Amino acid sequence: MNNFTLVDHPLIKKDLTILRDTNTSTELFRSAVYRISNVLCVEVSKKFLLTQKEIETPLEKTIGFELSKQIVLIPILRAGLGMVNGFLELIPNAKVGHIGLQRNEETLEPIEYYFKTPQELEDSEVILLDPMLATGGSAVEAINYVKKRGVKNLYFVCIVAAPTGIEKMQKHHPDVKIFAAALDRQLNDKGYILPGLGDAGDRTFGTL
């Protein structure tokens, strides 16, 4: 699959087991999402460009590095919020925007209800966050919104992806790099991923 990266890591597999378990508490679910987001952040940022800068250690001058571009995190509300802090821990100066898309449970199509992002997106590395890439409808719609702002460097990061969602993303946005912690089997007739982990938003915020 072009532009799709499955992040295969022992720590991710351990925490995915926690997320999939129906008996996992809200507290443990949140912490597992946070830790998986940490590992995904490391993988996504591998190709970020760096700029050299001269600094002084306690003993002498040396060359260090800083990120060349502003990093902007855009969680897709509300489930994507659970991934933000895992990224901010490693990129504390990242800016954060928000996109609100709600799925119509009958048509499975996304409905926008909120959109607010930093202004300077054109020259930024923009990372869209959503735990689940199921039908791909919300992801495609969110990318449409940010591309209208001139974004050129765009990543989509999820925890669990389904083949249907990846195919739709690659059809509509083949330039966007997708990172996932798991690639699951299929969708059920209600558009939920199997085996999946249920509704990530409800399980993150305890609204089951």
DSSP string, 52-115: EEEEE-SS-EEEEEEESS-EEEEEEETTTHHHHHHHHHHSTT-EE-EEEEEE-TTT--EEEEEE
Task: Assign domain 4-205 one CATH number from 3.40.50.10890, 3.40.50.2020, 3.40.50.880, 3.20.20.70.
Answer: 3.40.50.2020
Residues in the chain: 208
Kindly report, residue by residue over 96-109, the tens digit of the pLDDT: 999 887 666 666 66
By annotation, the residues acting in catalysis are 103, 107, 199, 202
Kindly report, residue by residue over 158-204, the tens digit of the pLDDT: 999 999 999 999 999 999 999 999 999 999 988 899 999 999 989 99
Helices 26-44, 10-20: crossing angle, 10 deg rounding: 150
pLDDT of residue 112: 67
At 53, give phi and psi (nearest 5°): -150, 145
Query: What is the rounded distance in angstroms from the CA atom of residue 155 to the CA atom of residue 123?
Result: 14
CA distances from 144 to 42, 65, 67, 71, 173 (A): 26, 33, 26, 19, 9
Query: What is the rounded distance in angstroms from the CA atom of residue 41 to the CA atom of residue 7?
Result: 10
pLDDT of residue 109: 66
Output DSSP code: residue 198: S
Kindly report, residue by residue over 29-55, the tens digit of the pLDDT: 999 999 999 999 999 999 899 999 999
pTM of the model: 0.91
At 94, give phi and psi (nearest 5°): -65, 145
Helices 163-172, 137-147: crossing angle, 10 deg rounding: 30
Kindly report, residue by residue over 63-91, the tens digit of the pLDDT: 999 999 999 999 998 899 999 999 999 99
Q: Which helix (H) or strand (E) holds 205?
A: helix 200-205
Q: Do 184 and 160 form a contact (C-beta atoms < 8 A)?
A: yes
Query: What is the rounded distance in angstroms from the CA atom of residue 31 to the CA atom of residue 18?
Result: 10
At 206, give phi and psi (nearest 5°): 70, 35
pLDDT of residue 103: 64
